Amino acid sequence: MKKTQTILLLLLFIAAISTSKAQDLPFAKAEITVSAEMKKSFQPGGRLLLHLTKQREKEPHLKSDITIAVTPANWDLAIPFQVDAQNKAVMIYNSEKVQSPPSQIYYYQAVYKQNQDDGQENVPGNLISNVDSMLLSDHPQLHLTLGKIIPPNEIVDHKFVKSVVIQSKFLSEFSGRPRYLRASVLLPSGYFKNPGKNYPICYRAPGLNGRYTAVNGHMKDKEFTDWWFTDSAPQVIYVYLDSQGPYGDTYQVDSENNGPCGKALTEELIPAIEKLVHYNPATKMRFLTGYSTGGWVSLGLQVFYPDFFDGTWSYSPDPVDFSHYGLIDIYKDSTIFYNKYGYLQPGRRTIYDEPTFSMKEWIAGENLVSRTGDYRISGGQFGAYNAVFGPKGSDGLPSLMFDPVTGKIDHAIASKWEKYDLKKVLETNWTKLGPKLQGKIWIWTGDADGLYSNVATRFLKMYLDGTQNPKSDAKISFTPLAGHCQEWSDKALLKMIAEKATGK
């Protein structure tokens, strides 16, 4: 019998407690033990995240009050090591918001973010501990074991659900290691009754960092399945795309940092899917849809591949005009943290225009979870933007479009984003693109979008309304006092696609 080896990681951190007076910050100790069977799964250079929360409803790694993060340098698993939270390499987020009576119970959990093909934290391949609790004190003892690997995703086993997983030649060659493309397919209720029938097909781009496992949610929704498996439901093949990428969402387009994702989608994944379901491209019924990030993706793919796709329904797309990137003009503004009047730039709001989250806070959160200590490898919204739209830096990582601490914009890099600025792409190429996009663009946005994305869509509409030769027939609508993705509905969307496909 083999000896069980235990490897100790000693993490020393500050659990900062804010009060009305300046006080010395109390220290706490945490011992994180990693069992020997994890040794072969461990990848050096990952980001260690310790999550603490007062809430019991969700595991701390899903919703934390405080997060402490560090990228262990030269982590030798054979010996313990210490990380001093006073060291600049250790980052602490939200500690100033903690209220901490001596009897306050905190739940805690550790995650080791190491999956090099997925920028997210709670994804397969990363290491995670069990949840434990403590009474907060000056020196609480935290003992954690990174004893589990987050398992691979699984697709529901159902006759009408298919999954497609292929190794991408294009992306594997780009990265120098195997990379995979994934999608799930929901077949219409009449599919097996009508062999040989040509069905329209719709590719659903998910919201930020969405996965092809979204089909599982629909199959667990009795209201949806009771509707879908009726003869009167839309007879459309519904494909759930996956947006996994090394820096977060790939936006399904070619980029310097993620690789030829658009090429891989259109030349590898989609042909594999359509061969499986017997879709006939000659029918010209290959459609797109999506919401939020998926709204941008569905519109972007239609613009970049105007002949390949036959129409898009895009809900609450991410900014489609980078002169109105939320409330920021990336080409002219000096920083993303403050507006031209010197006020903190808001990043989110309620439908009543109340700011709830500043850009400065947003980026601080993304800096925290990235192994580089800045948002480049956060896997979050701006980490993804930066990797998709920007050039590769001299270190092989995405170049920073703005400084992670000051928010100062590097306009030389910002100018490189222009080729993904959908309004600029249309303005520059309208004579060529305009005729190919007639009858293919449908966009909805709430005019109180929580991420201010409606501003960019307004300016896109103004441009398209003024086009000539041809005059655009894009249908772009806004709902007053509606928030981000508020009117998104798979059922309503599928009905519209069926109507377009059948002409009824």
Final residue of a structural domain among 372, 393, 418? 418
Q: Which amino acid is at 441?
A: I
Let me know whether 307 and 368 are in one domain.
no
Q: Is the preceding omega at residue 470 within 30 degrees of 0, hence cis?
A: yes
455 in a structural domain: yes
Q: How would you class 426 by CB atoms within 10 Å of its CB: exposed for 0-12, middle for 13-18, buried for 19 or more? A: buried
* Number of Cβ atoms within 10 Å of the Cβ of 86: 11
- Residue 1 domain-assigned (yes or no): no
Contact, 68 vs 85, CB < 8 A? yes
What tokens appear for 341 in the block?
Answer: 């009047």
Q: What is the pLDDT of residue 132?
A: 87
Mark whether 359 and 238 lie in a shared domain: no
The answer to whether residue 174 is domain-embedded is yes
Q: Tell me what pLDDT residue 15 has.
A: 36
Is 277 in the same domain as 373? Answer: no
The confidence score (pLDDT) of residue 52 equals 87
Is position 481 within any domain? yes
The reply to whether 245 and 361 lie within a common domain is no
Is 178 found in the same domain as 87? no
Picking from 120, 149, 178, the residue at the C-terminal end of a domain is 149
Residues 273 and 332 in one domain: no
CB 230 within 8 A of CB 360: no
* Within-domain flag for 122: yes
Residue 345 shares a structural domain with residue 209? no
Question: How do beta strands 141-145 and 237-241 pair?
Answer: unpaired
pLDDT at 135: 78
Residue 119 in any domain: the answer is yes
Whole-number pLDDT of residue 478: 98
299 lies in the same domain as 339: no
Whole-number pLDDT of residue 108: 87
- The answer to whether 451 touches 432, Cβ cutoff 8 Å, is no
Asked whether 185 and 163 are in contact (CB, 8 A), the reply is yes
- The number of folded domains in the chain is 3
Let me know if residue 139 belongs to a domain: yes
Which pLDDT belongs to residue 29? 42
CATH classification at residue 224 = 3.40.50.1820
User: 358 and 282 in one domain?
Assistant: no
Q: Alpha-carbon distance 164 to 112, whole Å?
A: 29
The last residue of a domain, from among 364, 396, 418:
418
Q: Does residue 211 lie within any of the structural domains?
A: yes
53 and 168 in a common domain = no
Q: Are 182 and 248 part of one and the same domain?
A: yes
Of 134, 135, 132, the C-alpha closest to 102 is: 135
Are residues 252 and 267 both part of a single domain?
A: yes
Range of the domain at 470: 161-321+421-502
| List of the chain residues with pLDDT < 50 | 1-36
- Of 500, 441, 496, 497, the closest CA to residue 474 belongs to 441
In this predicted structure, what is the pLDDT of residue 403? Answer: 98
